[in-house]
């Protein structure tokens, strides 16, 4: 316990007196677009000037963010999740090959195996450590609030994720998955983004994840990534399996994405591949009795002049459907905006080149279910 407290102190103290580069606030999932390679640094106008401070590595940024938000997450599960950033691996830049027209991403080995005649449409893209952990969706530590909500449901367990199975629908980035696996969870994430499939293809990205040495009860975990549409892809659904203790979906299962109030470009929506009833039945089959399902959504204000589907963060599934399919509804479209705004302030989403008006343009709702 003394070691746990010392690590909390270390993470908190690392943020004092140091300016942090502000990551882009989380944005709603959109159809994959080719990532932009890092901009080359500008040449120094005067060699005699003091050289600029080197850009901080993504892992350092995450550690500092963890310190900033720690006081808002009192549960053992969320605090361990944040402290585990200390042990995230440092990664080197990676190259993928992107075909914009076909919206296809390949690893270097996959690209090399193509016939020469098929290579012309691909462009090599180098993705740095910042993209590896933040992708296009911002800090993975925005999962700290959902982790806190789940941890509160198991107050007698300081590490509720040890030796448990967790499924993330639309994971968006690998960072939070590695953190949960380092706490001893068997983590499965599913995504349709072809860029993330190619990016997270190195052998060390998945498989056994060493335990974060936070406390004596921490054990090694495991991380498995799936690419495709769950549950409509039967092969993928079989690979995912069943018997999960936790299900999380953040910023994907929104009513606006699934059932938009107005006609919009289908590329702005999320296609589940099945109807609501089929999805909810698959979700019920996925979970163990007593397993917890959390649908957590951060959303902007609706625009008065142009409907944006990602502004409607309500649960896409009717409460009656959830209850009749075997779920106890612990919270339905609960307002979590105050907590989300405090988290956003800690992450400095209200600062930088494009500051967010947290009071007027950040809202959060969640639906929490327990499998009967």
Between CA 249 and CA 337 the distance in angstroms is 17
Residue 30 has pLDDT above 50, yes or no: no
Q: How far apart are the first and last CA of the chain?
A: 34
Between CA 79 and CA 17 the distance in angstroms is 22
For the stretch 111-157, pLDDT in tens is 999 999 999 999 999 999 999 999 999 999 999 999 999 999 998 89
Share of the chain above pLDDT 90, in %: 83
For the chain, how many residues are written?
A: 372
Instruction: Give residue for tokens 């696996």.
Output: 181
User: Does an H or E element contain 322, and which?
Assistant: helix 319-324
Q: Could you please report the per-residue DSSP string of 75-127?
A: SHHHHHHHHGGGGPPP---EEEEEETTTTEEE-HHHHHTS-GGGSTT-EEEEE
User: Going from the N-terminus, what domains does the chain have, and what CATH number goes with each?
Assistant: 94-127 (no CATH), 139-371 (3.40.50.150)
Query: In terms of Cα–Cα distance, which of 297, 81, 252 is closest to 175?
Result: 81
Q: What's the CA angle centered on 183, arms 205 and 197, to 5 degrees?
A: 25
For the stretch 155-195, pLDDT in tens is 889 999 999 999 999 999 999 999 999 999 999 999 999 99
Average pLDDT, the chain: 90
Percent composition of the chain: helix, strand, coil (DSSP 3-state, to 5): 35, 20, 45
Residue 44 has pLDDT above 70, yes or no: no
């Amino acid at each position: 316990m003394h070691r746990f407290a010392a690590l909390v102190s270390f993470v908190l103290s690392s943020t004092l007196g140091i300016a942090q580069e502000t990551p882009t606030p989380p944005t709603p999932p959109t159809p994959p677009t080719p990532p932009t390679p890092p901009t080359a640094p500008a040449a120094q106008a005067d060699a005699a000037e003091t050289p600029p401070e080197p850009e901080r590595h993504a892992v350092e940024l995450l550690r500092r963010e963890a310190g900033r938000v720690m006081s808002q997450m009192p549960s053992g599960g969320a605090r361990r999740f944040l402290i585990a950033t200390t042990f995230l691996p440092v990664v080197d830049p990676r190259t993928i090959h992107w075909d914009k027209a076909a919206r296809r991403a390949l690893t270097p080995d996959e690209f090399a195996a193509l016939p020469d005649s098929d290579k012309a449409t691909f462009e090599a893209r180098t993705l740095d450590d910042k993209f590896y952990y933040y992708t296009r969706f911002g800090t993975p530590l925005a999962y700290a609030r959902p982790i806190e909500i789940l941890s509160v449901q198991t107050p007698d367990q300081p590490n509720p994720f040890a030796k448990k199975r967790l499924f993330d629908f639309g994971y968006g980035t690998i960072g939070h998955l590695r953190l949960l696996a380092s706490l001893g969870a068997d983590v499965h994430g599913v995504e349709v983004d072809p860029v993330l499939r190619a990016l997270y293809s190195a052998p060390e990205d998945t498989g056994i994840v060493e335990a974060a040495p936070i406390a004596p009860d921490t054990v090694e975990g495991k991380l498995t990534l799936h690419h495709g549409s769950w549950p409509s892809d039967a092969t993928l659904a079989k690979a995912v399996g069943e018997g999960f203790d936790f299900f999380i979906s953040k910023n994907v299962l929104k009513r606006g994405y699934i059932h938009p109030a107005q006609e919009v470009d289908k590329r702005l929506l999320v296609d589940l591949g099945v109807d609501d009833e089929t999805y909810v039945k698959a979700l019920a089959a996925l979970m163990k009795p007593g397993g917890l399902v959390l649908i957590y959504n951060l959303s902007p204000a609706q625009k008065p002049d142009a409907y944006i589907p990602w502004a409607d963060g309500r649960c896409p599934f009717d409460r009656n459907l959830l209850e009749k399919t075997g779920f106890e509804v612990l919270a339905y479209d609960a307002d979590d905006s105050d907590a989300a705004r405090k988290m956003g302030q800690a992450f400095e989403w209200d600062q930088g080149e494009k500051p967010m008006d947290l009071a007027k343009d950040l809202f959060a709702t969640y639906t929490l279910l327990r499998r009967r």
